[in-house]
Amino acid sequence: MNERLAIVVPCYNEEEVLPQSIPVLCGLIKELAAKGKISGNSFVLFVNDGSHDRTWEILKEAHEKDPSVWAQKLSRNCGHQSALLSGLMTAREHADLSISIDADLQDDTAVIEQMIDQYHEGCEIVYGIRSGRKKDSFFKRVTAQGFYKLLARMGVKTVYNHADFRLMSQKALDELAQYQESNLYLRGLIPLLGLKTGEVHYERKERTAGTSKYPLGKMLGLALNGITSFSVKPIRMVFTMGILVMVICLAAAIYAFVSYLCGDVEPGWTSTILSIWFLGGIQLLSIGVIGEYIGKIYAEVKRRPLYHIEELLNDEKK
């Protein structure tokens, strides 16, 4: 018997994109079912992450027309990673395997069949990996590549050029459910599962409608979250920097003492004020790095839920 597939799609203010992506994904479900790759009762689960436009109304209308369209409404905007996790945890209860993809469909849906084939060959996780970044702007290409390299230098295990386009089996989702972290970075968590993985490569498409929901500020926040959630190297770097500053200060003290003995000392505040600013900057940087980790500990120990599901529309309630 073919297994049930859930395609999980986080949505935030996607009213311009959904009229295009809903028919494509529903058509893909039917096509794969006709080929015998998946069960005929597979579905697409759209997660409305507190949108302020007509996203939820569009999803409700689509659900009424097609039972393969499921819609989940979160009570507020929880962020992309939390919205994606909520969809995956819902899919875990109803499907045998799940594929996550963004609503803009810039990720190539044509490789989903290859993902399913690798799943049938024994892979519990299949990553969708971009084959290149030729269509990105120079700034985005350089910053993205630098981000992945920085994560690797910090000891964070990630898949290069992979975002959140992936297949996960029910077993993989069961393992993921054991991680109860408040500071979510799924791209770093999933490689920790240690299950058998596969890869499919594709060329990312241009966005046909709407605007990106990941501006520079959110990208920097995601990068910072990824580094501080999986690596203590920044704190070790602060420690190393402190040792280096101590050595420099010791050398400066020896130089000042020798100059005093030689009678070459001239009064002035330039060197003094520069050292004060330098040491003050180091101290503020160190406090900031340590504070970032303390803030994460504060968020983790409160154990607040990451999301609240206000409503779920699916074919099993009819």
The CATH architecture assigned to 5-211+305-317 reads Alpha-Beta Complex (3.90)
Q: Within the chain, what is the greatest distance between any pair of CA atoms?
A: 94
Q: Please tell me the predicted confidence (pLDDT) of residue 318.
A: 45
Q: Please tell me the predicted confidence (pLDDT) of residue 315.
A: 75
**Mean pLDDT, 10 residues at a time, over the chain (318 residues)?**
90 93 95 93 95 95 94 93 94 95 91 95 94 67 69 72 91 93 83 92 74 60 66 70 70 67 59 68 75 74 84 76
Angstrom distance (rounded) from CA 53 to CA 58: 10
Q: Please tell me the predicted confidence (pLDDT) of residue 218.
A: 62
Question: Are 101 and 9 contacting, i.e. CB atoms less than 8 angstroms apart?
Answer: yes
Angstrom distance (rounded) from CA 315 to CA 45: 11
Query: H/E element holding 11?
Result: strand 5-11
Q: Please tell me the predicted confidence (pLDDT) of residue 291.
A: 76
Residue ranges of domains in the chain: 5-211+305-317, 233-302
Q: Please tell me the predicted confidence (pLDDT) of residue 257.
A: 66
Question: Are 42 and 1 contacting, i.e. CB atoms less than 8 angstroms apart?
Answer: no
Name the residue among 63, 85, 34 with its Cα closest to residue 316: 63
- pTM for this model (two decimals): 0.76
Return the half-sphere exposure (C-beta side, CA atoms, 13 A cut-off) of residue 10: 23
